[in-house]
Structures are given as C-alpha cells and as structure tokens.
Structure 1
Amino acid sequence: MIPSTSELIKKYSLNAKKSLGQNFILDKNFTDKIARAAGDLTDSIVLEVGPGPSSLTCSILDAGAKKLIVIEKDSRCIAALSELKKFYGERLEIVEADAVGFFKHPPSFNHPPSPSRGRSRMRVDFMDDETPSLQNLMSRMRVDFMDNETPSLQLKIIANLPYNIGTILLFKWLEIINEARSTKHEARISSMHLMLQKEVVERIVAKPDEKHYGRLAVMVNFLCETRMLFEVNKSVFTPSPKVTSAIIEIIPREKPLFDVEFKKLERVVAAAFNQRRKMLRSALKPVFKNTEEILREEKINPELRAENLQIEEFCRLAKRL
C-alpha cells in the first residue's frame, strides 16, 4: 500500500524548512485537483519542482503520467521519495539538485536519437562527476521518447513552487520556451500549472493600467497565454503560510505575440518598470539616447508611465534597439 504524505513525514521526520520556502500539502484530494487542472496527463512527461514529501507527486502519477521527473534539493526528502519507487517503478525519476541550477541552460540536441537503443525505458542516471541539469537529463531521455517523426520532447511542468524561487524559475522557463522556437530536436515546455503566491499570480495575469501590471505580466504574456485557475486556502498547508496561494495555468503560444527579440524586449521592459513612477521619457533614458524622439515617432505619449503601455507598444520600442 502506498504510504500517505503524513506517514512519510512522520517516518522521515520531515519538518518544513522555512529557509527552503517549504509548505507541505497533506490533503491528497486537493493535490488530485491540481493534477486534474493540468488536463490529460496520459503518456505525458512531467517535471515537478520541490516535491517535498510527495503528495502532489502521487497525484500526478495516479493521473497517468508516463514519466515524472521530480527535482528536490532537500536531501531529507529523497529517502521518502525513493520509497515511492517501490510502487511506481521507472515512471518516477528522482533528481537531487537545486532547481535554479538545474534549469540554468536550455537543453538542445544536435543529433537524432540512436536507432540502436529501444524506447521502452528511460534512464536518466547521472555520472558521479556530472552536474544534474535539464540539458543532461534531456540528452538521456531523447533516445526513449524521440525519433525523426517526433523531433522534440513535450514537457509539462506541474509544481507547488517554493515561494523564494518561484519567479526566478519562471523566467528560466521563459528562456527555455523562447530558445526552443529556433532550435531543432529541442525539449519544449507544452504547459505549466504552478502554485505560487496569489500576489505573484495576480502580477502575471494583470492587464495594463491595473496595479499589479509590470515586468512579469509583459514578459510572460508575450510568450504565453495565462489564467488564474483557483485560489488555495492556507489551511491545506502544513505549516500554514502567511500568504494566500493560487494555481495558474501558463500555456506557451504557437509564436510570440509580436516579432521582436525576447532579450531586447526584456531590456526595455526592465528599464521602464525599474522606476515605474517615472514618466517614460525619464525611465527609458538608460536604454535610448534620444528617448523622447523615439517615443513620439512610435506615437507613444512620453508622459505615460510603464503601467499604461500595452505589450505591443513595448515591442515597438524594443525593435528600436
């Protein structure tokens, strides 16, 4: 019988660490709801960051994921997660690594899969001297899940993200999504269903002229479609956090909203919101020498603030770099 999250916490003395931003969910009915929100997981490759004592992990596997790779930094949780392999076998792969470092470099493949190996298993064992990373992981997975007809690995990310690294990871995933558009044999993120602080979710889905609208909303929605699915009551966590959480759905677009380089857009948006109370003619001076002239040529009022601009207007400015 599969042990419950509460049983694993007790067996391995897994008290949530504030330094790791941990808050555990014990109610599997609720984690099942999160897994269902991610849609049909049958035959899917799923990545979960920060599984902790495994409640969401079990829900994802019970929903039919073909392969679930969990990335856990806390060595205390590895033994608890390893116990689940007795029940889920090779469908569950455990990587002990810091997630921020793990997603440092977008994975890319320059060679087709070797025809000499079968596709029945997926091995992602790391060498003793090898740093665990998404790039190295995908290199091992491609021989089992890729061929000439399916030249990319479609990855779904489902995670209750630690509060202290949620935004950092999101921007790393945006870089992977952006990079994947121009690279053959690339691992592609097909969807993300994330639990974040409600305030962060509100910042992601915000529209121009709304108080939460900022850099996060512009950059995420430039590449992806977003929507808040539901709030998460504090009572489902142990220990109960001080902030309210929410589940957000992020689906990469077929192509960006507008034809402009991601890095150029990021530079303009960062400058504009770095001093968000300043008018654009002042806020954008670090980016453009003739700021006011460019704004007028693009028919943008120099006296507006960053929070007033549509994504399309930011993109027009980015093209001027």
Structure 2
Amino acid sequence: MSLAHDGLPPLREIVATYGLDPKKSLGQNFLFDLNLTGRIARAAGPLTGVAIIEIGPGPGGLTRALLSEGAAKVIAVERDERCLAALADIASRWPGRLDIIPGDALALDFADLATRAEGAPLRICANLPYNIATPLLARWLEAEPWPPFFDRLILMFQREVALRIVATPSERADYGRLGVLAGWRCRSRILFDVPAAAFTPPPKVTSSVVELIPRRAPDPCDRILLTAATQAAFGQRRKMLRQSLKPLAATLGVKAGALLAAAGIEPTRRAEEIDVAGFVALARAAQNLRGPH
C-alpha cells in the first residue's frame, strides 16, 4: 500500500489541521515528499515481521511509510506534544501497530524500549532532529552489551555529519571520533542524499540517509578507553600523538611515548592518520598498561 492510499489525509492537511508549524528549537524539518518517505522506509526493509523505533516522527510521514511497507510495529518517540493527536490518528488506522512514546529521546532507556518489539527483529529508522542526531548516534554506537538490541540503523543526518560517520583516514577533513566509533562497531555507508527543498522549512544544508549495520564481533577492546583515546587524539588533532595523548597517558601513570610504543604507533603521527585498528591497538595498550581494573 502506498502512503497516498493509506486512507489518511495528506500530510500538509494534517499539519494545517493540528497547527504543526515546525519548531526550530526542536530541530524540526518535516518531510512531505511521499517518494522520499517511501524510499527511506524501503531502505530499512524488507519490513515484514520487523519492529521499528522512530525518533521525532512529527506529523507522521515516515511513520505512515514504514507501516505501509509492512512494519509489524513502529515505536514512535515524540517530544512535541502538538504532534501526538496526529500520530493517534495513524494509530487508529493501524490498530496495534503503532506505539506512541511521548518524551525526550535523549532521556530514554532504549534497551528497555526495545522490549516493546516483543521479540521481533528491531531497527531504528528516523529523520533525526538535527539538534540531537549526533548524541543519539553516539549512544547507540556505545551500547552495551554488543551486538546491540538493533540489527540496523537507517538514519538521516545533515550531509556533513553523514560524511563524518563514514570517513576514514583517506578523508582527513571529515575523519574523527565519530568515524572511529562507527567504523569500529558497524559497517556504514551513505545510501542517498535528500535536497533541502524536500523539507518544510528547507534547511540550509543537504541531508543524507546513512545505513549502519552492527558488526557481530568488532575487534575487542575497552570501549571507554577507546573513547578516551579518540577524544584525546582528535581533541588536539593538529598536534602529534606524543603530545595530544599526554593527558591519557598520565592517567595510566606512563609517558605518551610508552603508550604509543605499546600500540606500535609512531609518536610523530597525528590522529587523522590513525585508522580504526590503530585506535583499537591504543585502547588495548592502555588497558594493558593500566593493569587489572
């Protein structure tokens, strides 16, 4: 069933009926293009028997597309109380298949929320509000235990953020902590771009839909130490690692040179030159030097 024939009013009519003017303070940019909402939903598919967590559904354009494409359940988290009535209309159209969770996604326990999937495979698919997109992704990438509660992420970001997610040392300008974290735990790729004109109101930037598929067994290392190493290294990315890693090494009671030697990394290299395997080696070296903890 296409979204245009799901028996509900057009999105623009719903927005007018409920007075849902997008709020900049909530990072809202509504997507009315049915071809695009359908394309995003299909990118998350096939959806038969699958549960979806959606963040920031707004008037429900993507929500309707996900249900139309066959999602067994959509668990929609919406902070804007103005949107709840519009989402309730969708829930009435799809009895038992839409759970509406009012509240701030940043304050939720997603592992607990995942129990609403009732054992179905779970994915996260969302046109993320720009102002919470990066912290939410970091939280999902840092989930414990791993493999996580989701089997795939299909998320829309500003293109500059999308480029940082998929970056490697060959794209030095974009490569940073987010690229290391995503590269360590997931296989990620940009699926397609979405022009600003597709949104209401149109943002000042192009957006991109990114797919992240969790690796079943990432190279083992201490996640907290990996995060500490990337924060230290990229926090002073123009400096050589023998300088930028001094604070981290000090917490271990060693010199930065000793930490780098243990990881097999030349001290004159910079953060943007170190691939994911190199940062994993740094985290392992830090764990070994720290000893039992």
Normalized against structure 1, the TM-score is what? 0.83
**SS in structure 2 at match of 1:195:** strand
Offset at 1:294? 2.6
Which of 161, 171, 180 in structure 1 is aligned with 2:128? 161
Hey, what's the Cα distance between the residues in 1 that align with 2:76 and 2:95? 14
1:307 to 2:268 alignment = no
Q: Is the 8 A contact 2:262 2:285 kept in 1?
A: no
Which of 180, 183, 186 in structure 2 is aligned with 1:224? 186
- Cα deviations across residues 21-44 of structure 1 (Å, max 9, x unaligned)? 000011112100111111200110
Offset at 1:63? 0.4
**Identical amino acids, percent of aligned pairs:** 44
1:275 to 2:236 alignment = yes
Offset at 1:180? 3.9
- Change in 2 beyond 3 A, CA 1:199/1:138: closer
Gaps of 5+ in 1: 108-134, 147-152, 182-186
Hey, what's the Cα distance between the residues in 1 that align with 2:224 and 2:168? 21
1:317 to 2:282 alignment = yes
Work out the number of aligned pairs and report it.
Answer: 275
Query: Which amino acid in the other structure matches residue 269 of structure 1?
Result: T
1:26 to 2:8 alignment = no
Hey, what's the Cα distance between the residues in 1 that align with 2:35 and 2:280? 43
Normalized against structure 2, the TM-score is what? 0.90
Which of 237, 242, 249 in structure 1 is aligned with 2:199? 237
Which of 179, 188, 191 in structure 1 is aligned with 2:145? 179
Query: Which amino acid in the other structure matches residue 197 of structure 2?
Result: S
Hey, what's the Cα distance between the residues in 2 that align with 1:273 and 1:138? 33
Offset at 1:138? 4.0
Q: Show the 5 A alignment for 1:257-268.
A: 258-268=219-229
Hey, what's the Cα distance between the residues in 1 that align with 2:145 and 2:255? 31
Query: Which amino acid in the other structure matches residue 121 of structure 2?
Result: Q
Gaps of 5+ in 2: 1-6, 287-293
- Cα deviations across residues 250-290 of structure 1 (Å, max 9, x unaligned)? 0001111x111211111111111011111100000011131
RMSD: 1.4
1:16 to 2:22 alignment = yes
Query: Which amino acid in the other structure matches residue 228 of structure 1?
Result: I
Which of 45, 48, 62 in structure 1 is aligned with 2:51? 45
1:99 to 2:121 alignment = no
Offset at 1:4? 1.7
Hey, what's the Cα distance between the residues in 2 that align with 1:313 and 1:175? 18
